[in-house]
Amino acid sequence: MKSLTLWLASALLAFSSTTEDFIAKASKKHGPFGEKAARFLLEHMPPSDKESLTTEFLLENLDLALKTRTTFPWAKDIPDDIFLNDVLPYAIFDEPRDPWRAFFLEKAAPLVKDARTSTEATQILNRDLFKLIKTHYNTERKRTNQSPKESIEQGKATCTGLSIILVAACRSVGIPARAAGTPVWYDNSGNHTWVEIWDGKWFFTGADEFDEKGLNRAWFIDSASKADPTQPIHGIYATSWSKQNGSFPLIWSPKDRSVGGVNVTQTYTALADKPATSFGVRFFEGDKRIVKKGTLTTAAGAPISEFETKAGTADLNDTPRLDFFAKTSYRLRFEIDGKLLETKPFQPTETILDIRPADLTAVPDLSDDNAPLVSVLN
């Protein structure tokens, strides 16, 4: 017990020394705002960081963050509170603390050199950065909360790791950015993480899911709009360095309350602008997802809409969404090896429907007099 007490006293003394040194250097180099930034960073720093981070690490992060205010046009007029909370911090979740700011500045600055707004710059980064660093969605990544360095070394990350990368890259060029997500979707179909950026107000986008039509467009809108504000586990949260509004629930570490969070559920439930119900479709051959063109038809086989399943670097839950009416039967039709195959009639009950070749049978040739009448009527 005595040795533990001595260790704690030594750790507190070391951190106190680091704190004073960091504040003094920040103030000397950047004036009153530099001191304010240093104090804000320290005030909301997770306890584990207080034991491990050095003055050099903290000062480099602060220097490069403040430099963006005079380098990039969109960073000049960011309100101080937004800048401190969503540009300055050196971490997003509880990932290992890489000194990523210089790396991403070197990669991102040339990409966004002609952009005039943070929205335009974010779109460019989401389109080009992941290809540049050769890192994409892959469920075989080592863990959920990887640091940028870990994800890039593997070339693999799932939605959380990709979001950490995009948030870090945005912050490196002075774009206020934060991760957002839900611990569990409203229908218990899993969790998801994405990115929000500030351009006068908050906008969202999927990481490594560029949409040429702009921000606030994503495959998860339907699920997000059905979030349940009365059930915290089904809510939607955005990360925050300040913890005055609560914490971000970490699905990979449920008891950890070290990451600040803001409940933004209402922002997403407001997106429910139509009562349509929809389901997603994935196509598998064995355990591998396959890109496959398909058609949603009536039970009698009349085409309704065409779609294409996703695979590869697309998120596991990123699927085409097919609208349907309750208590109505449908079929899914695919062309495989030159043959038209279809499912049996079904009434959608699942959020995502997984289809395999074994689930399909040949579409009857209705020009054949021997075609079973039931296939025409169902």
Average pLDDT over residues 61-73: 97
**Confidence bin at 303 (pLDDT 50/70/90):** confident
Amino acid at 219: W
Average pLDDT over residues 256-279: 83
Average pLDDT over residues 97-107: 97
pLDDT at 1 over 90: no
Average the pLDDT over each of 29-33, 100-104, 266-270 and give the range with the smallest value. Answer: 266-270
Amino acid at 102: A
pLDDT value for 16: 62
**Confidence bin at 371 (pLDDT 50/70/90):** very low
**Confidence bin at 374 (pLDDT 50/70/90):** very low
Average pLDDT over residues 207-218: 95
Average the pLDDT over each of 32-41, 110-119, 140-149, 219-228 and give the range with the smallest value. Answer: 219-228
pLDDT at 13 over 60: no
User: The domain at 75-269 falls in which architecture?
Assistant: Roll (3.10)
pLDDT at 67 over 80: yes
pLDDT value for 263: 92
Average pLDDT over residues 350-369: 80
The per-residue pLDDT for range 133-189, each reduced to its tens digit, is 999 999 999 999 999 999 999 999 999 999 999 999 999 999 999 999 999 999 898
For 214-237, give one letter per residue: b (16+ CB within 10 A) or e.
Answer: ebeebbbbbbbbbbbeeeeebbbb
**Confidence bin at 12 (pLDDT 50/70/90):** very low
| Of the candidates 317, 319, 355, the residue with the CA atom closest to the CA atom of residue 139 | 317
pLDDT at 224 over 90: yes
Asked if residues 105 and 169 have their Cβ atoms less than 8 Å apart, the reply is: no
User: The domain at 277-377 falls in which architecture?
Assistant: Sandwich (2.60)
| Dihedral over Cα of 239, 243, 244, 247: its sign | positive
pLDDT value for 18: 78
pLDDT value for 5: 53
**Confidence bin at 231 (pLDDT 50/70/90):** confident
Average the pLDDT over each of 25-39, 190-204, 290-304, 331-345 and give the range with the smallest value. Answer: 290-304
Q: State CA 9 to chain mean position distance.
A: 40
pLDDT at 377 over 50: no
pLDDT at 46 over 70: yes
Six-digit token string for 279: 């389901």
Average pLDDT, the chain: 89
Alpha helices in 134-283 (DSSP H): 148-154, 159-172, 221-225, 265-269
Q: Which residue has the higher pLDDT, 92 or 306?
A: 92
Q: What is the dihedral of CA 156, 128, 125, 213, to 10 degrees?
A: -110
The residue to which tokens 């109505």 are assigned: 328
Percentage of the chain exceeding pLDDT 70? 91
Longest dimension (CA), the chain: 92
Amino acid at 217: R
The ranges assigned to domains in the chain are 75-269, 277-377
